[in-house]
Every structure is written in C-alpha cells, then in structure tokens.
Amino acid sequence: MSKKIKKDEVKELQQEINVLDHMLSALVETLEEKGILTQEEWEQKIKAKIDNASKSYRDLESDNSEGKSN
C-alpha cells in the first residue's frame, strides 16, 4: 500500500471521527440543556462502559492464552 493511499485513509478516518465527536457532543449538550443528563452523569457512564469493555477484552485475552496452552 502506498504512503499516499494510507495517508488518505487516515485523513478520512480522522474526518469521520471528528463528525461523530461533533454529533455526540451536540446530543449530550441537548440532554444537558433539557435537564435529562448532567456532565458528571455522562462522565460516569463513559467510565463504566470503558471499564466493562476493558474487562471483556481481558477475559477474551485470558481465554485465548488458556486455549493456546492446552
């Protein structure tokens, strides 16, 4: 893969992430304005989801390493 194509793919991915970030920020701001969610609640939910996801990944990794040793 040429460097030009790879740079274009990276740039496109960056743009997609930026759009998603703006969309998510707008949604959270709207929920805050309507009194449905506070910034603190939002941050707690994010932290919980990240913690759960990382535990799931660790479980997968330990399952894979156990399978290799058997």
For 2-44, write each residue's pLDDT tens digit: 788 888 999 999 999 999 999 999 999 999 999 999 999 999 9
The domain limits of the chain are 1-36, 38-70
pLDDT at position 28: 94
Q: How far apart are CA 57 and CA 61, in angstroms?
A: 6
Structure tokens at 23: 């969309």
Inter-axis angle of helices 3-33 and 39-69, nearest 10: 140
